[in-house]
């Protein structure tokens, strides 16, 4: 899924996408973040469908 989110969100002016792996983002948070997975790529992408048009 590497870089796929950036492709989906393109250059959305209200929410620019960081080009970072989620693990690096989660590690930098001040709170613990639990990830759910692994997920199938198509399953993970569904949450973003239509949100960035």
Is there a domain that residue 53 lies in? Answer: no
Q: For 11-29, how does the pLDDT look when each residue is reduced to its tens digit (9 = 90+)? A: 777 777 767 777 787 888 8
User: Which has the closest alpha carbon to 2: 33, 44, 30, 35?
Assistant: 44
Tokens 């198509």: give the residue. 42
For residue 26 the two structure tokens come to 């989660």
Domains held by the chain: number: 1
Read off the pLDDT of each residue in 33-41 and give the average, rounded to a whole number. 76
Is there a domain that residue 22 lies in? Answer: yes
Is there a domain that residue 27 lies in? Answer: yes
Q: For 38-52, how does the pLDDT look when each residue is reduced to its tens digit (9 = 90+)? A: 777 788 788 778 876
Range of the domain at 30: 4-48
């Amino acid at each position: 899924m590497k870089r796929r989110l950036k492709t989906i969100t393109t250059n959305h002016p209200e929410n620019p996408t960081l080009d970072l792996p989620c693990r690096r983002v989660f590690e930098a948070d001040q709170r613990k973040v639990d990830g759910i997975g692994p997920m199938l790529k198509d399953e993970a992408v569904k949450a973003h469908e239509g949100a960035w048009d």
